[in-house]
Amino acid sequence: MTIMNDEQTNKINIEKDFEQYVERMKRIRALATPDITEIKTADEYSKVLIDHFRQIGVLAEQNYALIEDYIMPMRLPREELERFNEMLVNEIDAVEVDVHLSDWLMDKLMLSDIEMHSGQDDSSLLSRLFVQMRRAYYRIASFSRYHDYESERVREQIIKDAKIVDDYLAKERFAQLSVEARRILIECVKFAPQLYNNNEYPLSDEYCNEQFAIVERALSVCRDSFYRKLMPDYDWQSYKMYVHLYACYMIYADISQETAHKVYRYIKKLKGIVRRSHSRFKLGDWLDYKTRDFEMWALVVSGKENILEAGKRCYRSYSRRNQYDYSDTGILKNLDLPASFISLVKNHPVPFDEDLAKKYEAMAKGMLEYLYRIPKLSSQYFRCMIIFINLLMNYMEMPGILSMEDLCLNAFITLHPPSYIHSRMVAQISSCLSRHLAQLHPELLEERWKDNRFGFQMYAYHAGLCHDIGKLFIIDTICMYGRPLFDEEFEIIKKHPSVGAGVARKYDSLRDYMDVIRYHHVWYDGSRGYPDCPQGLGGVRNTAINIVHMADCMDAATDVVGRSYKAAKTLDQFIAEAKAGSGTEFAPYVVELLQNEKVKQELDFLLYQGRQNLYQETYLMLMQMKGK
């Protein structure tokens, strides 16, 4: 019989705690997105959601203790934290449980390792460096959704990491490395061209030439007999393919025709590599389709083909997809391909063409339906959300197709049905409050609304619908129910009004609601809320903002779905809180409305029967998207 000491027992207990955390997070993900095909009626759908979020609240409380007692203070040995990190993003089983917590842990574990080397052997250091480089790529893609300065901070770290790679690549030092350390180092060199891709803003020819230099540096290693001789068993053909693949991604950036011609050379070389050695690469069909997508962009950007012809070819390929294929190739055909074409149209607009517009809309709707159906625990889901967010960032409004407002609402249904219901509720409450305010206090309306009270009501309604569109760009953080948010995550959430306002500025259907979107979390007196607004929200210009702010708070306080951290309040309880906040958080004239018996009766109906009606509507829409 083996007797375990206290340290061994403690290690086993911690391992069990980790496993239980992972299982709870999986359970929370499943509870938050119930399988609509297992729900028989709309009434049952609302009951299921309410019950599920109560369960989520219980599970989340159990997770809090582990995070706050052990993870955040970093009290556990490094090897145990690394094991936990592997469980959060399990690449072997193709499951990701909490990619944000995994990123946070990686940051903490690597902070001193990379900069101080902390006495590690070369293999360990390079291995961690490679993981950091891979994470940096996905973090840049994520950060670009809401703030550029974080992207630049990560890029600065990439430059430091690249310097370490260059130091190790010096031939004398490379020769002294172990076989494993050499392999990891070459993987870092191979991956480097992808890190420098930048699709956020127009790229100068000078920047692109720097990118080409990085690509050629990586290819020179492949051609150099010194490195090949020291690594005779390494798959250099695969290395060459990946370097060309990463180089081709530059075609998606805003580049000149001259640069496009240069990138096209890499695309043609990639085609040749794939044609000669297709069976050698695991990427298979995905690589074929990706190469065709690169070529479509290159032909348009370089001026060799017009976008209407490219659109027809793209749609023919898209129409042959399998809508239920969730493999890498399936994701490329169902998401990457249409998102790529939509981006191409934005970067190279053409005169309106009705046939192109219909195909454009069909691809956008198809992406929504596919994303709704994809398994939520798949390791691909996070990547799929980023692809879809690229659609939102590049969508163009055209006559006769979905407006950006409608696309955003459909996106909420797809990604987070509780946020769709919340947006509709805020719109209906805002409509109610604005109608009564216009009747009782017309002096509080802007001049443009004084002879058009119904117009003001419709304005408040649509402003309420759109108030949270910024959340779509951080939906992965919004959906984090199972643990306390890190400070960095809360700061991300606080950016959603500014992000939403930035999006609204670009679209005809949203531009008029820009100020409401930006300031709907600001207190009436300007003392609190985000973003900063020290002057407050007095004056008739801000009446709609104050109405939507009240509606937002009211729905959040009286609903339980999507808010696992607190119980729902009654309308009377909320009104009592609103009275206490009159003149500080809330505009006094809106608080006064809540005490009007007729207004209160309408609100009471909206918060209960109205919300139930929205659950029914949402259920039917989800069933339609599921193909049932």
Q: For 255, phi and psi rounded to 5 degrees?
A: -125, 165
pLDDT for res 469:
96
> 311: Cβ–Cβ under 8 A, 6 or more apart, which residues?
341, 345, 356, 359, 360
pLDDT for res 208:
87
| Residue 112 banded pLDDT, cuts 50, 70, 90 | very low
pLDDT for res 467:
96
Please name each of the domains of the chain with its CATH number. 404-626 (1.10.3210.10)
| Residue 93 banded pLDDT, cuts 50, 70, 90 | very low
- The percentage of the chain sitting over the pLDDT mark of 70, rounded to a whole number, equals 87
pLDDT for res 377:
58
d(CA 415, CA 588): 36
pLDDT tens, 149-189? 566 667 677 777 878 888 899 999 999 999 998 998 999 88
pLDDT at 87 over 90: no
Give the single-character DSSP code of 95: E
pLDDT at 550 over 50: yes
pLDDT for res 268:
94
pLDDT for res 350:
77
If we measure between CA atoms, which residue out of 33, 20, 15 comes closest to residue 475?
33
pLDDT tens, 289-298? 888 889 999 9
Q: Average pLDDT, stretch 373-382?
A: 69
pLDDT, mean over the chain: 84
pLDDT for res 565:
47
**Highest mean pLDDT, choosing among 70-74, 81-85, 238-242:** 238-242
335 vs 80, higher pLDDT: 335
CA distances from 463 to 405, 466, 525 (A): 10, 5, 21
pLDDT tens, 492-508? 889 999 999 999 999 99
Spatial contact of 427 and 611, defined as CB atoms under 8 Å apart: no
Q: Go through the chain and tell me how many residues it has.
A: 628
3-state secondary structure of 586: strand
Q: 42-51, 220-229, 538-547, 561-570: lowest mean pLDDT where?
A: 561-570
pLDDT at 560 over 80: no
| Assigned token pair, 493 | 């959430």
Q: 60-69, 131-140, 358-367: lowest mean pLDDT where?
A: 131-140
3-state secondary structure of 273: helix
d(CA 468, CA 501): 10
For the chain, the farthest-separated pair of C-alpha atoms sits apart, in whole angstroms, at 89
pLDDT tens, 516-535? 999 999 999 999 999 888 78
If we measure between CA atoms, which residue out of 110, 152, 47 comes closest to residue 616?
47
pLDDT for res 12:
61
Spatial contact of 606 and 559, defined as CB atoms under 8 Å apart: no
pLDDT tens, 570-617? 999 999 999 999 999 999 999 999 999 999 999 999 999 999 899 889
Spatial contact of 76 and 14, defined as CB atoms under 8 Å apart: yes
If we measure between CA atoms, which residue out of 405, 402, 417, 406 comes closest to residue 514?
405
pLDDT for res 322:
92
pLDDT for res 484:
79
pLDDT for res 199:
57
pLDDT for res 116:
47
Q: 17-26, 213-222, 472-481: lowest mean pLDDT where?
A: 472-481
